[in-house]
Structures are given as structure tokens and as C-alpha cells.
Amino acid sequence: MNAPVDVRSLEVRIEGGRRLVGPLDLRLEPGRVHAIVGESGSGKTLTLRALAGVVPEGLSAGWNDATVPEAMPPGAVHADGGGDGRAAATPAPTESPRSEIPRTAMVFQDPASFFNPRWRVERSLREVLRYARGLRRSAVPQRIATLASQVGLSLEEFRRYPFELSGGMVQRAAIAMALAPEPTVLLADEITSALDPERAERILEMLHGIAVAQRIAVVLVSHDLPLVARVSDDVRVLYRGVVVEKGAPAAVLSRPMHRYTDLLVRALPSQAQRGRALPEIDPAPSEEVGAGCPFLGRCPAASAACSVMPAWDDTDRVRCHHPVPGGPDDG
């Protein structure tokens, strides 16, 4: 059975320069969908790429030991194997980025990029199963049939070229490719951004069902807050590379406590706001986040106390000195 994975103090930096993401602590539970939300440029995709060990050229991903518990080696990715406590050492920030999470797979925004356009989908799957998974040739057809069933496609559809499939079908085929090596962690980066709302919800409901059935931890990045509220088990709100609020989606997205989360939720169009201008969120500053709250320069409730971020742990929901009283319903 897959074990929970703890990632401690994850950072992404420009090589030799400023920090773009982190430090972040993530506990990835099998059978759960962990969502990360935030505006464009907040560091969501960089976080997933760091977990997968595929950060863009010119950036480095590693782990800073400043907030790592004494019982855990600096820069550790810790798999909680039911009490045997195995910890795998991870690279320092100056080393080449790589993932220490066993069997990590990622689905990117453009599902067609998963496939060689000259190959039928089935052939691409065969390549992954034979050479990445190491299956015997005789075992491949049964595994392909299982993958087809899991993602809701037929074997006939797997025998088509990617350009012969609809957008939703290509996305399902890309998920099948990611599932082929039987990952323990599946990273999904805006995988429904090109789909209409109905197809997007079906895709994510399918992914949640797969996570539960196969005990896979899914990390989902999305801009669609209402959809995240319906299909994820927990959510983290990321701003300028820092998690400012986390918790159950129904609580975080219906009664946000951080001022930034509150603005995100208020900016969603709704029937109640018909005919009225939506709230605007000014562009984020470009400089590196210091010791204070990353939202300090844009927060209407900021005070001198905000020059230092409040400490928090796994049980805290919001990282803010002046949380929203009662959430948006009070406004």
C-alpha cells in the first residue's frame, strides 16, 4: 500500500539568486486530491515541476533546512511507511534538481504534448509500459485494457492518433499515460483549462475516483475555484510562492480568512454581482518576499506586525495577523 509522503521546506530559486517559491511543507496522502490555487505567477506550476524534478533551465529546486524538524535530515522527503520511518536524502538547492518521491508522474497543461503525433495512442502506451514500467510483452495488452477502463476510453479510441481524438479524449489518454507506470504521486497542472465546465468536472471526478481506488496522492493546480471546491479534499492558497491559507475546500473557499483568499473569492463572477464591477487585485510586486507577509503591500488591514510572518504548523489554517472576521459573508 502506498504511504503518505512528506515534503519539507521545498524551495525554487533562480540559480544564485532570489527565491521564487517556498519554503513549502506538503503532506501528500494516498487517495486524496490536494489542490493548489492562486493567481497566475503565484508559483503553482513551479511547485509541481520542483516535485517532479523538471524545473526550467536557470532555476534550481531544493530543500532549505531552516524549518525541518530535528528528527528529519535537512532537505528530506520523508515517506511514512507505517512506522518504519524511511527518509530519503534530497539535493541541496545548489545541486541539479531531481525528484526523490518514488514513482512521480505529471500531466501538463497541453495533453497533446504527451504523444508523438505520428504514433497511435496505443503505441505510446506500449512504449511506456515496456521501457518505463518494464512489463513483459505478453502483459502489455491487459494493462492497456485496464488503463482504457480506468480513464473511460475504449480500446478502439486508444488505436487512434492523438489528432483524431477530442480535447477531452486526449486529456483522458494523457492521464492514462501518466498512470501507466503506476505512480504513487500524480501531479496535474491545469489539466482542464482547455475544456468546457462539464467536461472539466467529469475529468476531475474521474481523477478523484482513480486516486481513491489506487491509493494515489494527486496534486492538482487549477484557477477554477468552484471546481476545486467540488473535487479536492484539501486546498492550499499560494501567493508569491508562499502558502497563506490551507484547509478543507468548503471552508477555505466559502469563508476565507486570509485577505488575499478573500479577494480571490470575491473576484468570482456570480448572479449576486450581476451588473456590478468585480473587485480588482493589483499586480504582485516583483521583488523577493522577505520576512514579512507576501501580501503586505496590497493588504488593506496591514500593520507593523505584518513585517514578520506569524508562525504556523500543520493544524493552523491561515497565516495572517489580521484574518478576515467571519469571512466574506460579513461584508
Q: Does residue 203 belong to any structural domain of this protein?
A: no
Question: Whole-angstrom Cα distance, residue 21 to residue 43?
Answer: 6
Local structure of 27: helix, strand or coil: strand
pLDDT tens-place string over residues 94-116? 343 334 455 789 998 888 887 89
Pair (189, 301) in one structural domain: yes
For residue 61, the tally of other CB atoms under 10 A from its CB is: 28
Pair (326, 297) in one structural domain: yes
E-strand spans in the chain? 5-14, 19-28, 33-37, 59-63, 76-79, 86-89, 104-107, 185-189, 217-221, 234-239, 242-247
Q: Does residue 22 belong to any structural domain of this protein?
A: yes
Exposure on the CB side of residue 304, measured as CA atoms within 13 A: 0
**CATH number where 11 lies:** 3.40.50.300
Pair (96, 224) in one structural domain: yes
Residue 281 lies in domain: 5-103+185-193+217-330
Q: Does residue 99 belong to any structural domain of this protein?
A: yes
pLDDT of the chain, 331 residues: tens digit per residue? 677 888 888 888 887 778 888 788 888 999 999 999 998 888 899 999 888 888 888 888 875 432 233 333 333 333 333 332 222 333 333 343 334 455 789 998 888 887 899 999 999 999 888 887 777 888 889 999 999 999 999 999 999 999 999 988 999 999 999 999 889 999 999 988 888 888 888 999 999 999 999 999 999 999 888 889 999 999 999 998 899 999 999 899 889 999 999 888 888 776 666 666 666 666 666 666 777 888 888 888 888 888 888 877 777 889 888 888 865 444 4
Pair (231, 322) in one structural domain: yes
Pair (144, 221) in one structural domain: no
- Terminal CA-to-CA distance of the chain, rounded, Å? 46
Pair (23, 158) in one structural domain: no
Local structure of 30: helix, strand or coil: coil
Q: Does residue 171 belong to any structural domain of this protein?
A: yes
Question: Whole-angstrom Cα distance, residue 69 to residue 8?
Answer: 9
The backbone torsions φ and ψ at residue 239, rounded to the nearest 5 degrees and listed phi first, read -135, 120
Pair (80, 49) in one structural domain: yes
Sign of the Cα torsion 166, 37, 238, 212 reads negative
Q: Does residue 202 belong to any structural domain of this protein?
A: no
Which residues lie closer than 8 Å to 283 by C-beta, 6 or more apart?
none
pLDDT of residue 36: 95
Q: Does residue 207 belong to any structural domain of this protein?
A: no
Q: Residue 76 has what DSSP assignment?
A: E
Which residues lie closer than 8 Å to 123 by C-beta, 6 or more apart?
116
Closest among 285, 252, 234, 317 to 42, alpha carbons compared = 285
Question: Where is 48: in which H helix or E strand?
Answer: helix 44-52
Pair (87, 223) in one structural domain: yes
Question: Whole-angstrom Cα distance, residue 246 to residue 103?
Answer: 26
- Domain boundary residue, one of 182, 208, 230: 182
Question: Where is 6: in which H helix or E strand?
Answer: strand 5-14
pLDDT of residue 142: 92
Q: Does residue 204 belong to any structural domain of this protein?
A: no
Pair (315, 229) in one structural domain: yes
- Domain boundary residue, one of 129, 157, 182: 182
pLDDT of residue 286: 61
Sign of the Cα torsion 186, 190, 196, 201 reads positive
Give the C-alpha distances (Å, rounded to integers) separating 301 from 242, 285, 305, 322.
Answer: 19, 18, 11, 7
Pair (47, 125) in one structural domain: no
pLDDT tens-place string over residues 233-288? 999 999 988 999 999 998 998 899 999 998 888 887 766 666 666 666 666 666 66
Indicate the number of domains in the chain: 2
Pair (158, 90) in one structural domain: no
Question: Whole-angstrom Cα distance, residue 291 to residue 294?
Answer: 8
- Domain boundary residue, one of 182, 201, 229: 182
Helices (H), 215-258: 225-231, 249-254
Which residues lie closer than 8 Å to 277 by C-beta, 6 or more apart?
none
Q: Does residue 206 belong to any structural domain of this protein?
A: no
Pair (93, 221) in one structural domain: yes
DSSP class per residue in 181-194: T--SEEEEESTTTT
pLDDT of residue 285: 62
